[in-house]
Amino acid sequence: MVIYNPPVKDYEFLFNEVFDIIPTIQKLGYEEMDSDFLTMLMEGWADHTTNFWLPINQLGDKIGIRYEDGLIKSPKEFRDAYHKGVDSGWLSTSCKEEHGGMGVPVFFQAVTWAEFGTATNMALSVLPALTTGVYEVLTEHGDEHLVDYFAPEIGKATWAGTMCLTEPHAGTDLGMISTKAIPREDGSYSVSGTKIFITYGEHDITENIVHLVLAKTPDAPEGTKGISLFLVPKYLPSEWKTGTLEGISTSLRKEVNGISCSGSEEKMGLHASPTCVINFENSIGWRVGDLHNGMPLMFQMMNRERLATGMMGIGLAEIAYQNALSWVKDRRQGRDLNGIKDPNHKADNILVHPDVRRMLLEAKVNNEGCRALASWTGLLLDQIKSEDNKESERAQALLDLFTPIVKAHFTDLGCETVSTCMQVMGGAGYCSEYGVEQFYRDVRISKIWEGTNGIQALDLAGRKITQNMGKNLRYLLWPLTKFIEDNREIPEMEEFNKPLYQGVKGLQQLTLLMISQGQTNPHFLAAGATDYCRYFGNVLLAYMWAKISKTSLEKRGTPFYDAKISSSRFFFDRIFPETLALGAKIQSGHKSMMNYPEEMF
């Protein structure tokens, strides 16, 4: 039986004590948000997911979706659980109240909502996460008539949303897309083309599906500069004839808007989440944003989904850890190497074995460190909307820097952690009964989704560290160096502060190396990008653990805070030292791989 206890207490600690998030949020216009209300939100969502989402997760994995004659049928239990979420408002917490949402800060949905939802049912959580992304792009960049008509239904999650980028011949290189959008006299467009790997592109959970589609208009410039973004609904309004959507009801036509599903992928995991081939044939749609400005808008949504994908790594790593730990507490094999620990049993609990402790602590400590960085990143999503230009600029710079790291590092660690938890459980971990093998199959897509982790690393090393004349990195180094300096003379902080200082110094040196060498030989930069991204991720987690240690040292003497201090020591002793090897790999350059004879592969 799979268990899950949502880490509400850990988030309370991070939000209220480590980051003191409430005063910042209140200054941003959320005056009614306080720590009690935040806890109520977290506990309410925790109850909802454990009561309605977790019990059907394994069922969805076994039953999966059913594709018949272009239609996809989801398990009834998934439809019921989704609509329970709609009715209670949990699927639209950050949407505006005028559009049927709760109107709470973005960080709650982006962080806590995402972790609890993913942990309990990743296959179902993807649908409202995508829908929220469509809502944000639409409300920020859509014309008034589009917002007025579509936003209330999308905001309430009664209509779902997708993003349609990839084509059979155009994956990462979106400049090669061939989907066309032909202008119509009434201001709408006729969209035609084929998109692949569209998550929830077809399903029967909501009554309408609203696609955001990348396409090119006639005579558009070559490459990505010629791409525009279009909103294309599966069903058109029954009252719509031509022109805008002003003043018409949300009742829908029975016939499909030229959209068909010609297949659903058979996948390693996420069996209840459809991944579709979607065809548009003279489908009516409306442009969102300016002509030929589709890529920046789609990347706005993609970057939010990249953060959401990073949270998938944390969510599944956490539930895998909890189930491995539960199994360990009942498992007895062998004796402690230093002598019998429990003479009343024929064997000791396997928690006495150093390697079991190593695996569990790696899982626990990486999960908690990532959760802290996610909390900081979530706050930035609200701060970018600040009316204070300096605060907004700083938040955007940090968010640009953190996004590829959160996506890549969290999902790398998520896959490693779930695999490690399976190893902790031995043969039981490989069996479906205990759930961990499903978590591994589900989480594995996270390293591929929304731009593979190799692409994220290239984005970080090739763009984000030099973007805005290096402002992104400077906005990070200022608080980092200040924290190190402020704690330099505190003896109890030395064991955390000193390795953090060394890591930051190493990051600065490696960054200069990547920039200088990369300018003359891009192979050098590309060869070291993945290791650089992991190095950077470890430095950020080191900063998180140093901050957690500072807070916990002030309140030590209780099990919770003492455990945080012990976890921090484990991180700096057993996890952070990998940065030394990563640095050596980066400095080794590209020659041994690029000079390797192709015929010898």
pLDDT tens per residue, range 219-248 = 899 888 999 999 999 999 999 988 889 889
Which two structure tokens, joined as six digits, stand for 288?
């969102």
**Nearest partner of 528 among 469, 420, 450, 454, judged by Cα:** 454
Name the amino acid, one letter, at 497. N
Checking if the pLDDT of 170 tops 80, the result is no
Q: Is residue 285 part of a domain?
A: yes
Q: How many CA atoms lie within 13 A of 224 on its CB side?
A: 12
Residue finishing a domain among 139, 169, 197: 139
> Tokens 């579509």 map to which residue?
150
Q: How many CB atoms are closer than 10 A to CB 246?
A: 9
What dihedral do alpha carbons 213, 253, 277, 84 form, nearest 10°?
Answer: 90
Q: Are 67 and 169 found together in one domain?
A: no
**Weakest-pLDDT range from 161-175, 386-400, 486-500, 552-566:** 161-175
pLDDT for the residue numbered 396: 96
pLDDT for the residue numbered 469: 81
Q: Are 62 and 187 found together in one domain?
A: no
Q: Are 459 and 584 found together in one domain?
A: yes
Residue finishing a domain among 294, 327, 344: 294
DSSP for 79-123 reads HHHHHHHHHHTTT-TTS-GGGTS----HHIIIIIIHHHHHHHHHH
Q: Are 216 and 178 found together in one domain?
A: yes
pLDDT for the residue numbered 223: 87
Checking if the pLDDT of 198 tops 90, the result is yes
Rounded to an integer, the average pLDDT of 42-62 is 98
pLDDT level of residue 171 (50, 70, 90 thresholds): low
> Which position has the higher pLDDT, 343 or 442?
442
Range of the domain at 244: 160-294
Rounded to an integer, the average pLDDT of 30-52 is 97
Q: Is residue 524 part of a domain?
A: yes
Checking if the pLDDT of 1 tops 90, the result is no
Q: Are 124 and 181 found together in one domain?
A: no
| Number of folded domains that form the chain | 3
Rounded to an integer, the average pLDDT of 20-29 is 96
CB 527 within 8 A of CB 589: yes
Checking if the pLDDT of 402 tops 90, the result is yes
CB 404 within 8 A of CB 347: no
Average pLDDT of every residue of the chain: 95
Catalytic residue selected from 433, 450, 578, 599: 450
pLDDT for the residue numbered 349: 87
> Using CA atoms, how far apart are residues 38 and 22, in angstroms rounded to an integer?
9
Q: Is 89 exposed, middle or buried (0-12, 13-18, 19+ CB in 10 A)?
A: middle
Q: Is residue 475 part of a domain?
A: yes
pLDDT for the residue numbered 173: 66
Residue finishing a domain among 85, 110, 139: 139
Q: Are 107 and 186 found together in one domain?
A: no
Which two structure tokens, joined as six digits, stand for 491?
């003896």
Q: Are 103 and 213 found together in one domain?
A: no
> Using CA atoms, how far apart are residues 116 and 98, in angstroms rounded to an integer?
26
Q: Is residue 490 part of a domain?
A: yes
pLDDT level of residue 400 (50, 70, 90 thresholds): very high
Told to judge if 17 belongs to the known catalytic residues of this protein, a careful annotator would answer no
CATH number at residue 63: 1.10.540.10
Rounded to an integer, the average pLDDT of 139-144 is 95
Question: Do β-strands 66-68 and 71-73 pair in parallel, antiparallel, or remain unpaired?
Answer: antiparallel
Checking if the pLDDT of 158 tops 70, the result is yes
CB 203 within 8 A of CB 209: yes
Q: Could you tell me the end-to-end alpha-carbon distance of the chain, in angstroms, rounded to an integer?
A: 45
Q: Is residue 533 part of a domain?
A: yes
pLDDT in tens, 468-482: 888 899 999 999 999
**Weakest-pLDDT range from 171-175, 509-513, 570-574:** 171-175
pLDDT for the residue numbered 172: 64
CATH number at residue 253: 2.40.110.20
Maximum mean pLDDT: which of 296-300, 350-354, 383-387 = 383-387
CB 540 within 8 A of CB 372: no
DSSP for 359-399 reads HHHHHHHHHHHHHHHHHHHHHHHHHTT-SSHHHHHHHHHHH
pLDDT for the residue numbered 329: 93
Checking if the pLDDT of 7 tops 90, the result is yes
Q: Are 204 and 259 found together in one domain?
A: yes
pLDDT in tens, 272-292: 999 999 999 999 999 999 999
Checking if the pLDDT of 187 tops 80, the result is yes
Q: Is residue 410 part of a domain?
A: no
Checking if the pLDDT of 559 tops 90, the result is yes
Q: Are 44 and 173 found together in one domain?
A: no
pLDDT level of residue 175 (50, 70, 90 thresholds): low
Q: Are 518 and 586 found together in one domain?
A: yes
Rounded to an integer, the average pLDDT of 505-522 is 94
Q: Are 472 and 513 found together in one domain?
A: yes
Q: Is residue 555 part of a domain?
A: yes
Checking if the pLDDT of 341 tops 90, the result is no
Q: Are 459 and 588 found together in one domain?
A: yes
Checking if the pLDDT of 206 tops 80, the result is yes
Q: Is residue 365 part of a domain?
A: no
pLDDT in tens, 207-221: 999 999 999 999 899
Name the amino acid, one letter, at 367. N
pLDDT level of residue 460 (50, 70, 90 thresholds): very high
pLDDT for the residue numbered 176: 78
**Nearest partner of 116 among 35, 17, 10, 201, judged by Cα:** 10
Task: Give the angle subtended at the CA of 327 by the CAs of 323 and 332, to the nearest 5°.
Answer: 165
